[in-house]
Structures are given as C-alpha cells and as structure tokens.
Structure 1
Amino acid sequence: MAAINDLLRQIPDTSLRDRLEQEFARLSKNKKFGLVFEEHIPECTPLYDVPVKRGSTVALKTGHINDLYTVLKIEEDIALCRNKTTGDTRNIPVSELVSVAQFGEPIFPMLQPIAAVENARDSNLWHTIIEADNYHALQLLEYLYPKKVDCIYIDPPYNTGARDWKYNNDYVDSTDNWRHSKWLSMMQKRLKIAKRILADDGVLIVTIDDNEQAHLTMLLNEIFPDRKLFPVPIQHNPRGTQGEKFAVTHETAIFVVSKTSEIYKKSHLGGEISNFRKWGNQSERSKTARATTFYPVIVDKELNIVKFGDVLPPDEHPAGANVKVGDFIYVYPIDSNGIERKWRYSKKNENEVLPFLKAIDNSGTIEIHIQRESENTKTIWTDPLYNAEEYGTKMINSMLDTTFSYPKSLYAVHDALWHVVSGKPNALIVDFFAGSGTTLHAVNLLNVEDNGNRRCILVTNNEVSEAESKALREQGYQPGDPEWEKHGICRSVTWPRTKYSILGKRDDGTILSGEYFTNQIVSKEVKRSFYQLGFIDNPTDLTTASKKQLVSLLRDKDGKQQLPQSLVKADSKFIVSDKHSATILFDVNAVNEWLEALEDQDHITDFYIVVKSAATFKEIKAQVSNLLGPMNVTLQVKRPMSDGFPANVEYFKLGFLDKNSVSLGQQFREILPLLWLKSGAIGRRPEINSDEEPDMLILPQNGFAVLVDETKYAEFAKKISEENNIKVVYFVTNSEEAFREMTDGIKIKNTYQLYRDYIDNFVLGSRRDS
C-alpha cells in the first residue's frame, strides 16, 4: 500500500494524481468478505416540472439521463448547452430538454397539492400520498420524521429480469450483466436513509422473492448490524408460478427487528376460539361456599385483560354482566337472560389461563373469549386470504378500469402490519415503494377494526408502463405532458384506488361491491347437530374393524373426515377428543360415561349416536342438550366495501425550490405543507389565501404556530400562551442567538429555526449520502 502511495506522488499531472489517489482510496476500502457489488454511476432523476434556465443541469428528453449538459444561455427558446463529459457545445430547443437532479446534489423539496379526499370530517387524521422518486422523497422524510417512523413496509421491484424496474431511467432486464449490483446499489442508497427515519423500536418489513432474497438479507445485515432479521415465507400463489424446475408458491417478508421492537401475537379465528363462560344446565353458578368459578375478569378501557378479581360469596350478586368500577370494567359470567353462570376455569387457574383470554366488544357487551392454541407468531404463513390473485389482482381490477401487475394481497400486508403496530394505535407507517397503494388500504382496514388512529405515508413515482410508454410516444406525447402523466401508476392506480376504497364508490357514483374480511369477531349461538345411526342391528357386537369403518364414514359439510380411525381402540365404547369437533357413542349402555366425558367439551358440534330406537336417541339427545346447551361460536365479521373508511388523504407531487429563494424567506407558501406534515399532519392542511406573507400563523387546529416576522415576537408569545393545542413552533430567523432566546421565552419543547434547519438538513444530508 505504501509503495503505491509513493508511486502516485511521482505523477506530475496534479489533476490525474488527485483522481487516481481518490480511486485508490475507494478501492482500498473494498471488503474482502461479505456482500460486494459495484456502486455504478450515481442515479439521476428527471424533473419535468422544474423550468430549464441558465445554469440548469439538463438532459435530452429522448436521450440518456446520464448524458448531461449545462445550460449556458437561452435565447428565443433555444438553449446553448455544454456537454459535461466532452465539453462540446450545441444549441437545443428548450422543449426537448428536462432538468435533472444528480445523486449527491442538495435538493430543496416542496410539496405541490394535487388532490384530497375527506371522509372523516370529525377526525384530525390525514394520510399522505407523495408522487416522487423515492430517493428524494426519503430525503424529505428524514427532515420531517427523523427516528419517528414506527413501521416501514416496502415491496421493492423483485428484479426478475422482466424489465420491472429502471436504473437511471433505463429498464433493467435479464440481458444486463450488472442487474444485481444495480439493484443493490439502488436499494442501499434508500435503506440507509430509511434507517434514519425508523424509530429505535420501529420495524422494517421488506417483501422479496428468491431473485434477490439472499443478496437483500446480506445488505440488511450490513446496514442494520444491531438488529435481527426474521424471514417469513408467505404462500401468496397456491397454484404456483411455473418455473424451470419448481412451481414457486411463495415470497418472503423479512422483518428487521431491534431489541426494543415488539412483535404482537395474533389469534387466528376458528373453532378453537369460544366463550370463556360455560353453557347448559351444569353451567349455572354454584351456591356452595367452595365455588371458585364466579368472579370478575377485570378489563381496561382498551379491552386489555388486567387480571381476575376475587371470587364472590354465594350471597353477593353483581348488577349485571358488565360493571364499571373506576377506569375498569368488571366482566362476570352472566348470560343475556341475566342468569349467573360459571367461568370454565376457577380463580386458582388465573396464571395458566390468562394468556389465552381475549376481551371482545359484542354489540356493546364485553365478553371474555378463550383461545385454546398458543398465539405465538409462526415463521411460515399460509392462509387462503394471502392469495395475491384473489385478494390483490381481482380486488384492484374490480375497483378500477385499469389493471396492475402483481399487487399484494390486502390481507398479507394487513397481517404483516398487524404484528408490528396492532399495539400502537397512533403508529406512523411509511411505504416508499407504494405501487398500487395496498399499504394505505391495509392501514385503513386496521384502523376501522380497532378504532386506531394510525397514519400512513405512501411514496410512489408516476412511471408509465413500457407498453403504454411506447403507445404514447407513437402518438407524439413525451414524459411530463398531461396526457402522458395521467397514465402513470400514481395517477391511474394508487390515487384512484385510495380514493375509491375510502369513499366506497367510484368517481362515476357506482358503488364498490364485495366485502372485506376483518379481525373483528362476533359471538353467535348455534344449535348442535345430532345424527342417529340406526342401520346397525346389534351395536354392542361391533368389532374394532367395524367401528373404524363406521368412523371413516363420518364427514363434515366439506367432505373431510371428522374423526381419525386411530382414535378407535379395542374397548372403545365412545370417542371424545379435545382436538375434534365430532363425537360418536357406539354403546348406549355407556351413555353416563359418555356424558361425563362431554361435560367440558363445548367445542363439539356433531354428535353421532349408534342406536336403533328413535325414542332412546331423542332421550340421549335431550341429555346432551341439557348438559352443553347451544353452541356459542365466534364468527369473523365482514365489512362491505361500499361502507368505505372514515379516513382523509392528501395527495402531493414532490417539487423543488431554489436555495437562494428559500434562504431569503421567499418560499413560505411553498414550505407550509411541509410544516403541517412535520407537525403531525393534524387537521385539514392550512393554506395562505392572500398574496402577502403573514407576520405569524397561530394554528391550534393543526397543532403548530409560525413566527415569520421576529419583531412581532412579544405578540406571538402572548398568543400561543393562550392556546393549549400548540405543540410545535417554527421561528423564521437567521440568528442562532435570537432563535435560542425566542425558544427559551415559550413553554413549548418542539421548536425549529426556519429556514436554517430546512436548508442544513438537505445540504448536510446530500454530503453524507454521497
């Protein structure tokens, strides 16, 4: 190494020597082990809405984005341009040029309002959609929400070789020998900024398929060395995509989790969930002093079960099934007819049973349900609702006039988010590869299930598909033209899907059809089913083989066998199982033993009785009905899509400001949407209607205030002292000392200096990222 440095010093050409020294320093840092990939030419982004003017960095709209020019002058819509690589100059019509943002250059973003939908006027919650290149949008999010995002969910391009993504405005396909390193270079830049907006206890979720999973795993380990990765295969295509050797049925969600992150456990619905209260004649409250199954289950306002209360003496009777005591609700095993019954387990089993209980609001009455299986999150997910064709493609196609390739199942995204934010009702969720907008759709479903107030920010470009791009060019349109832009993904898919799903109808007034599956459940009483097997002449003479043959005939409504033959033993007089919803009585002489075995088996729905006498069958049926009563089943609540969601969304397009204009304080109107977002996007976005810049803004409905003219500080401080809802204050001043003094003079912790904080964030951030 030292010898090479000595040789480099001998090069007389100083510019060449400096360049070689820089390149050698870069090569010296290359790793000998781990994920190694080319950095590639830095990314450039076309900015179709930024005017071309003297000094602009530009490219030809029909050329390569990295073939850059500097505009020397403009006369009569003709720009004299110098090529940044060759130094050659040429005249180019301004209409053929597009402004370009280069990686590593400081940008000064603003948000241009495009549209909004408001379907929850009483709610202060506003989601956000940002149409932008996600790299620049992430730079903005770092200014708005450093270390404040609870969950980042992204579904980046899978890099299958099918021209599904672009690098430097060119499609990357299977013929590109550098497609893997280009993909990693693209992801690395974005994940580094994503790390800076993720809260310490936040979770990053990345879905990917096998094309890049191994590479992505190594990249994530490199960027998040202090976190643990949990890969979760999800069966999203049960039929399988026919590959060269295998039919691929899955993709993988990688959960990037810190030590302080919490992964919430999910109770899967089904026959294993039932009421904690007993049913039938044997379920009424015991009047003996030794009774230990009549006590309150104490629940807080958020329906969290706190603990079991004390057992009530036999002569003490509560006022009802739900009794409010301070901030808690005491839930007793009292049925809808006011009859005092028993819990399934006594007070002494509290520690054993408590983890499997769940409080449910059933039409205003709090009920306690028990989940018999462990609720630990599994590392392989299979559920019919994760089918991307059924609950992704078909769902979107039913909403929109256009089609979108390979959208996620709404429920796969919903469940991934649920495990991360179900215990955080005010979570902030970001998706910067938003695609069709499934993440925001899933957040709205989560919120409506538990009255949450989670906020979602989507970022997606407005890329036009390759086929549509070709057709539009043939018609004479170029990127940036209104006709071109309306075919982009954000405007033709993401926004209309979001809008229609919230309103429950399309722009033409037609109502959305279909239903959502929700995590909400409701209890319902259903009768148990009894079947007389009277075709056997001598039931007591049944052999073991005959009993097995008989059991094999027992099928449910879907044709599945209800009891395994392995349960039949040589001396079996009946079969009762904790794991199966059917039972069979072979020998009616053993009816008392059978009834005793059934006493706590509330999950059994189907009863088969081998007996020729109809009278005996009816008598036994009555005994079972008296013992167990009707079955209390838990059903999944569905929500009509036409109901929409009580939610509000603002749709912006990312724009760019001139640094000098910002420094001089001439861009307040353009900056205001950013201040609203930085303050939490509370309430309807404020606007300045007059042409004159105000001296100050006091916005209690939005939770923030701005002092524009620092000479008005005394008046400003007095006004905000009279407001209780101001949580964030912005001071426009060039003086660091004045900013500190003004901050010290108010009682609000969150204060920011404009426009210095804004400018420094993007200048310093661009240096760090480059």
Structure 2
Amino acid sequence: MAAINDLINQVQDQELRARLQAEVNKLSKQKKFGLVYEEHMPECTALYDAPIRVGSKVALKDKQITAIYEVKGLSDSKAQCYDKVTQCEIELPLEDLICIAEFGEPIYPYLEPVDSVCNAPDSSLWHALIEADNYHALQLLEYLYAGQVDCIYIDPPYNTGARDWKYNNDYVDSSDAYRHSKWLSMMEKRLRLAKKLLNPRSGVLMVTIDEHEVHHLRCLMEEIYSDFYIQMVTCVTNPTGASQGRYSRIEEYITACFAPDANVTSSGDPMIGENIESNEVRWKSLLRSGTSARREDRKNMFYPVYVDPQKGIVVGTGEPLEYEIEPSFEKVNGYEVAWPIRSDYSMGRWSVGASTLDRLIAKGYVQLGRFDKKRNTFGITYISSETEKMIEDGTIQITRRNQETGVVSISFTNGKNQAIRTVWYRKRHNAGVYGTNLLGTIFNNTRSFPFPKSVYVVKDTIASVVRKNPSALVLDFFSGSGTTLHAVNLLNAEDGGQRRCIMVTNNEVSDEESKRLKKDGFKPGDPEWESLGIAQYVTWPRTVCSIEGHDVSGNPLKGNYLDSERPMADGFEANAAFFKLGFLDKNAVALGRQFKELLPVLWMKTGCVGTCPRLNSDELPSMLVLPENGFAILLNELIFPEFIDKVNAEDAVEHIFIVTDSIGGFKEMASHLQAENVYQMYRDYLDNFRINIGR
C-alpha cells in the first residue's frame, strides 16, 4: 500500500490523483492487511427460557442458526413465522422453536442463583461461576468490572477440527472451509471486550493455545492489544508426545499481553530444569504419608500430641497408645488432643517419635495448623532433620521467632529469585496426570472432559503475574472443567491470599452426547439435556468437590497437593456461587418489576462481599441496607431521610443504589451520602448495559 501511495503522489493531474486515491482508500477498507479473515453471519444466542410471543425472533432448536424467523401469530401448538430473507411465511411447531437474540440487539441480563458452596462462613471471599454464552457474560462483566480485572486467563477451543466448539449452534469440524476465519471472528469479539475489563495499567491477558491457531492468535492480539507488550511461553504439557506420524508434539503455548505497568514476578523457580533452590523452605507434615504410613506399621509412632488452639501452639506429647486401645479425643489437662488420623479417616502414624517431637517443640521447630473437623484432629508441621542440619551449617537462617508462640520463621540464606523463562518444563504441568487423572479422581472416572489442564500449570501461569497481588481479581471466560478456580484456591492456600476468581462457561454437551440425547428424543433446553452440560455436570461439581475436599460420591479425596503437605481432603477455605445468565424485559426493568432478579447483579457489582442476598417474596421493600454485603438500595424516595440516617451510620456500606427517574433528584440525594460509589437505578443499568449491541 505504501508503494501505491507513492506512485499516486507522482501523478501530475490533481483530479486524476484525487480519484485514484479515493478508489484505493475504498480498496484498503475492503481488504485487511496483516491478518485476513471473513466477516461471518453474526453469532446468535439461544434463549431457551424466554417465552415465545408474537414479535419474537426464533430459530429451530436442532438446526444451525442460519434461518431466523419472526413470529406473526400463535395457535395452541403452532407458530406462524415470517422469514425476512425469503419473505415467505411458514408454520412451525412451537416445541421445535427457541427464542434467539442476534448480536446488535439490546438485551438486558440478570443472574439467576443456581447453587452455592460455603466452606469459609467467616470469610468475605466469594468466587463466582456463570453459566452463559461468554460474549454476553463479558458484556455483563464490562458493566460490573470495567478496568478492574488484574488477570484474565483463558483456554479457548483449539480449533483442531475435532468438533470441539460451536459457531451459531453448530459444531465446526475440519471439513469446514471457513473454520479458521470463524474461529478468529469468534475470538476477535471476545478479546476486544476482554481488553475493556483489564486494568489498563497493570492487567495481563494470558491465552493458552496450540499450533493450530497460535500464529493467527498472535496476529489478532497485535491488532487488538497494540499498546500492550506481547510475549509467548512454550510449555511442555504432554512429555510423552503426540506424533501422528510426524514430529512428536509435547508443547502448548501461552500468549501473554501485558499492560504498560504489568510485570512478571521473579521466583525461585525459573520453570525450566528441576531441582531449583528458592528462598522458601518447606515444613514437613507430622502426619506420615506414602509408604509405611499406617498405625500398624510403626505402633510406637501412634501417640497423643497436646495442643493449645487459643495460643496456637503445640504443647507436648503423651505416651504411645497400645495398639489394641482406641484413642480418646477428650481434653487432657485442659489441652486438646491431636491423633494421626489420615484423610480416609483410618489411623495412621506420626513421622517422628514423641521424644524427638518434644525436642523440636522446645526449639520452636513445630507449628500448629488449623483444626480439621472431618478428621477431628489438627494439622501439625515441623522442621525435618535435613532442614535442621541446614540451619546448623548456615544454609538456612532463622529470620524471626514469634514472641507469642516461640515458633521460628526460616528461609534459605542465599536463595535465588530468578526470572521465569519462556520455556517451561515441569513434571507437574503434565496434563494427563494432573489434569485428566485429577478429574478422574474427583468424578470416580464417571464423567469426562477433553484435555483438562494440569491445575499446577494454571496455578503457575496465574501466579507469575499476581503473586504480589494477594487480592487480585482473576477471570476465565472459557472455564471448561473449572481448573482456574481450583488453581486460584490452591494459590491462596499457599500464601494466604484472598484472590477472587470469576469463571464463565456455557452448558454445551459433547458432540457424542448430543447425538445420543437426540436419539433418545431430547432437545437443548430439556432438563435431561441441560443436566449433562459442561457447567452443570463438570464445572460446578468440580468446584464444590475441590473446595469441600471430597469426590462426587462424598468420599474424601486421596493424596496431597504437590509441593506441599496439604491433603486434598482438606479442601479450601473458600466460597463460591453458581449463577445462570438470563435476560429481562426492558420495560419491566424500567418499571421496577424485576428488582428481585437484579439483586445478584448488584451483589457482583459491589465485589461479591458476603453471601449473595435474596428476596423471599415478590413484594419490593422500601429500602435495603446490607452492611454484611457492603451496599444499600433505596427503592422509595419518600423515606430518604430515614435512609440517610441508616446508611451514613454504617461504615461498611461503600456502594449505594438509588431508584429514581429524576437526574436532579438523584444528584441531590447523592450529595447527602457519605459513600463514594452511588448509582442511579435503573437508569444506570439501562443506559450502560445495552448488551448485545455491536461494538
């Protein structure tokens, strides 16, 4: 194009030069330079819960959404439909139709609570899973968290041709000549919205991909994230390789886009080469694991350990209990008693003898963990003999001693913080062992999900950019099996962070499952169909099981998390809420008839603090003051004086919503409120949340 412009500038005739320039300008708009792909028919969303009315846009349930009809009339079981393309009318069975929304039409979302899991009732940390088409969920999240997300991690469809993703309600396979441009068209819309969510100064987008689309993706990112620094990591995820008669591929790629002030945090692990020293020193679990870990294996290692939970200390030990005698959990001399009870509730043994443990307690080398209600015992860790020798020879140093408990803190004297490399090779990143097999453990091998990521590679990826941000907001809008939330919980457990994760996934069933369900007479939207979708059948059950520490049958998970002594059966001190995205009628919202449905949206907008509130009836209150959730709502302007007194007396109320049609009245009321974040409802929602408009 530059050469053409140079030639045009050499044309002496001004009129001819102007006409040539105008035609070239038209041509340049028609053809993209760099990444070239087709603009396809806009994606559509199937609204299975929306009632079919006269004027509704509908499509056939079991077909690819290419034909869209407008309903002109309804009978008991038929709909008179008009096809704008063919300009023909057709009568279709109501049971075969679904309402749809085209991109470019304003639709107004809400969050329908489906389920929740609470394993930390005293914590304000709540994660969220949203079942939705991720394009609409992203526009919802733009309303809620524009510019606030610290890290976006996504694992989109790899577009291998294996019918692993849909475009307009139809699986895209290798025979589709436009599958690459369809994939790019799908990704382009979502990556543009994702950029609006990221913190513009320090946010990071991380996308995992394989060789099928990696180069297309990089070009697309260069176009959308031109003001970000873009870098790619090669990560070994399948050491055994997949050859298909050619080179054996063992890697995938992580393409990262860094906002101007975003950085990777150095760590003791550069991610390539094993046996790396770091400043962190592992304390060993007192409960023996692995081989010879049962009570009968070392009977003298089964003895009581006395603890004082109030002071947070391990006090001492008692005599080993004879093998034939059952342990007692009653207090001894006012102290609680800990016994070596394993995650499967069987009796185990301690790692060291009582006399050795007493010596370590006296030196401050034993620390008390939290009480495990399921096993009715305490977590206890200690400094191993190898670590003790390293303290003596100066390799490890005691950095401080807790004045209340006497327990020491230790670190390597000359530990190295190294820059993380761009090639990662870690055994823990093996997708088969720590992805597929881990899911098999949770689901007892009864439910499958294709190619789940290793929870450790996701944790390492996210940690590399949020390790120094313990309150980071992490988003995954291609969440699949739910590895991202699992990884965020694991990272929080390791460093005491309060990072929050939002996951979005659709509820598609697999291609094979789809064929079976259709053969059995079921259609999308039927309960039998929806119950086998990704969100309901895989993502949410995994979330519940990983947080509570059991499999889908309720049995404690076996084994420990790698690089720690943390049993999987301990679960995580975290909470999560499961929502389904729905759509509201604009007029009903404007009249205030659907406040009940919007309440979870307001809860998410204000940071998901506390348990998501619900209204138990359809009768609207005059006001809601919810200090436990950090927000308040005024629905009746007439009681504003009473409202002021209540909300200004609550320091925890940081967000206030005022329902009023008057802009002047809103400004006047807002001026009397101490909270910094005050919103006008429902104008704020309707004006700023016209989702599905082409952007």
Asked if TM exceeds 0.5, the reply is: yes
Distance 1:341 1:747 in 2: 57
C-alpha displacement at 1:26, in angstroms?
A: 8.2
C-alpha displacement at 1:197, in angstroms?
A: 0.6
C-alpha displacement at 1:90, in angstroms?
A: 1.9
| Number of the residue aligned with 2:428 | 385
Q: Mark the CA change 1:344 to 1:654 in structure 2 (over 3 Å): closer, same or farther.
A: closer
Task: Give 1:453's match in structure 2, choosing from 491, 498, 509.
Answer: 498
For residue 608 of structure 2, what is the amino acid of its counterpart?
A: A
| Number of the residue aligned with 1:267 | 268
Distance 1:358 1:410 in 2: 32
- 1:196 and 2:196 equivalent? yes
Q: Mark the CA change 1:448 to 1:759 in structure 2 (over 3 Å): closer, same or farther.
A: same
Task: Give 2:508's match in structure 1, choosing from 463, 487, 490.
Answer: 463
Unaligned runs of 5+ in 2: 1-22, 282-362, 366-385
Distance 2:245 2:189 in 1: 33
Task: Give 2:659's match in structure 1, choosing from 732, 737, 742.
Answer: 732
C-alpha displacement at 1:272, in angstroms?
A: 3.3
Distance 2:656 2:534 in 1: 36
Distance 2:182 2:241 in 1: 28
C-alpha displacement at 1:49, in angstroms?
A: 1.1
Q: Secondary structure at the match of 1:149?
A: coil
Q: Mark the CA change 1:409 to 1:336 in structure 2 (over 3 Å): closer, same or farther.
A: closer
- 1:222 and 2:149 equivalent? no
| Number of the residue aligned with 1:132 | 132
Residues 71, 82 of structure 2: 8 Å contact kept: yes
C-alpha displacement at 1:744, in angstroms?
A: 1.2
Q: Alpha-carbon deviations, 1:676-723, whole Å to 9, x = none? A: 000000001111113310111000000000111122211111110110
C-alpha displacement at 1:163, in angstroms?
A: 1.1
Distance 1:67 1:93 in 2: 15
Unaligned runs of 5+ in 1: 1-22, 277-319, 323-334, 346-355, 518-635
Q: Mark the CA change 1:171 to 1:151 in structure 2 (over 3 Å): closer, same or farther.
A: same
Distance 1:96 1:24 in 2: 49
Q: Alpha-carbon deviations, 1:131-154, whole Å to 9, x = none? A: 110001101000110100010000
C-alpha displacement at 1:358, in angstroms?
A: 9.1
RMSD after superposition: 2.8
Distance 2:596 2:676 in 1: 25
**Alignment map for 1:75-474 (pairs within 5 Å):** 75-200=75-200, 201-268=202-269, 270=275, 272-273=277-278, 364-400=407-443, 401-474=446-519
Distance 2:636 2:393 in 1: 69
Residues 44, 66 of structure 1: 8 Å contact kept: no
Q: TM-score, normalised by structure 2?
A: 0.77
Q: Mark the CA change 1:31 to 1:364 in structure 2 (over 3 Å): closer, same or farther.
A: farther
Task: Give 1:677's match in structure 2, choosing from 604, 609, 616.
Answer: 604
Q: Secondary structure at the match of 1:234?
A: strand
Residues 272, 371 of structure 1: 8 Å contact kept: no
Residues 596, 618 of structure 2: 8 Å contact kept: no
Task: Give 2:616's match in structure 1, choosing from 689, 694, 705.
Answer: 689
Q: Mark the CA change 1:358 to 1:88 in structure 2 (over 3 Å): closer, same or farther.
A: farther
Q: Mark the CA change 1:742 to 1:234 in structure 2 (over 3 Å): closer, same or farther.
A: same
Q: Alpha-carbon deviations, 1:74-121, whole Å to 9, x = none? A: 222321111121121122222111010111111100111111111111
Q: Mark the CA change 1:370 to 1:416 in structure 2 (over 3 Å): closer, same or farther.
A: farther
Distance 1:450 1:26 in 2: 56
Q: Secondary structure at the match of 1:29?
A: helix
| Number of the residue aligned with 1:503 | 548
Q: Mark the CA change 1:357 to 1:214 in structure 2 (over 3 Å): closer, same or farther.
A: farther
- 1:477 and 2:534 equivalent? no
Residues 72, 81 of structure 1: 8 Å contact kept: yes
Residues 235, 387 of structure 1: 8 Å contact kept: yes
Q: Mark the CA change 1:90 to 1:257 in structure 2 (over 3 Å): closer, same or farther.
A: same
Q: Mark the CA change 1:274 to 1:692 in structure 2 (over 3 Å): closer, same or farther.
A: closer
- Equivalent pairs, count: 563
Distance 1:462 1:207 in 2: 21
For residue 80 of structure 1, what is the amino acid of its counterpart?
A: Q
Q: Alpha-carbon deviations, 1:145-187, whole Å to 9, x = none? A: 0100010000000011111111111111111111111100000
Distance 2:63 2:600 in 1: 34
For residue 277 of structure 2, what is the amino acid of its counterpart?
A: E
C-alpha displacement at 1:659, in angstroms?
A: 0.7
Residues 360, 368 of structure 1: 8 Å contact kept: no
Residues 267, 371 of structure 1: 8 Å contact kept: no
Q: Secondary structure at the match of 1:229?
A: strand
Residues 68, 83 of structure 1: 8 Å contact kept: yes
Q: Alpha-carbon deviations, 1:291-318, whole Å to 9, x = none? A: xxxxxxxxxxxxxxxxxxxxxxxxxxxx
For residue 127 of structure 2, what is the amino acid of its counterpart?
A: H
C-alpha displacement at 1:50, in angstroms?
A: 1.2
Q: Alpha-carbon deviations, 1:442-489, whole Å to 9, x = none? A: 001011111111110110000011111111111111110000111111
Q: Mark the CA change 1:399 to 1:104 in structure 2 (over 3 Å): closer, same or farther.
A: same
Distance 1:336 1:373 in 2: 18
Q: Secondary structure at the match of 1:745?
A: coil
Distance 1:684 1:321 in 2: 39
Q: Mark the CA change 1:116 to 1:767 in structure 2 (over 3 Å): closer, same or farther.
A: closer
Distance 2:406 2:85 in 1: 71
Percent identical across equivalent pairs? 49
Residues 69, 83 of structure 1: 8 Å contact kept: yes
Q: Secondary structure at the match of 2:196?
A: helix
Q: Secondary structure at the match of 2:561?
A: strand
Residues 278, 417 of structure 2: 8 Å contact kept: no
Q: Secondary structure at the match of 2:425?
A: coil
Q: Mark the CA change 1:684 to 1:32 in structure 2 (over 3 Å): closer, same or farther.
A: closer
Distance 1:168 1:197 in 2: 25
Q: Mark the CA change 1:358 to 1:147 in structure 2 (over 3 Å): closer, same or farther.
A: farther
C-alpha displacement at 1:64, in angstroms?
A: 2.8
For residue 449 of structure 1, what is the amino acid of its counterpart?
A: E
Larger radius of gyration: 1
Distance 1:271 1:701 in 2: 45
Residues 114, 653 of structure 1: 8 Å contact kept: yes
Q: TM-score, normalised by structure 1?
A: 0.70
Distance 1:466 1:344 in 2: 56
Distance 1:48 1:93 in 2: 15
C-alpha displacement at 1:58, in angstroms?
A: 0.3
Q: Secondary structure at the match of 1:702?
A: coil
For residue 161 of structure 1, what is the amino acid of its counterpart?
A: G
C-alpha displacement at 1:245, in angstroms?
A: 2.1
| Number of the residue aligned with 1:664 | 591
Q: Mark the CA change 1:407 to 1:359 in structure 2 (over 3 Å): closer, same or farther.
A: farther
Distance 2:263 2:574 in 1: 26
Distance 2:468 2:458 in 1: 16
Which deviates the most, 168-177 or 178-187?
168-177
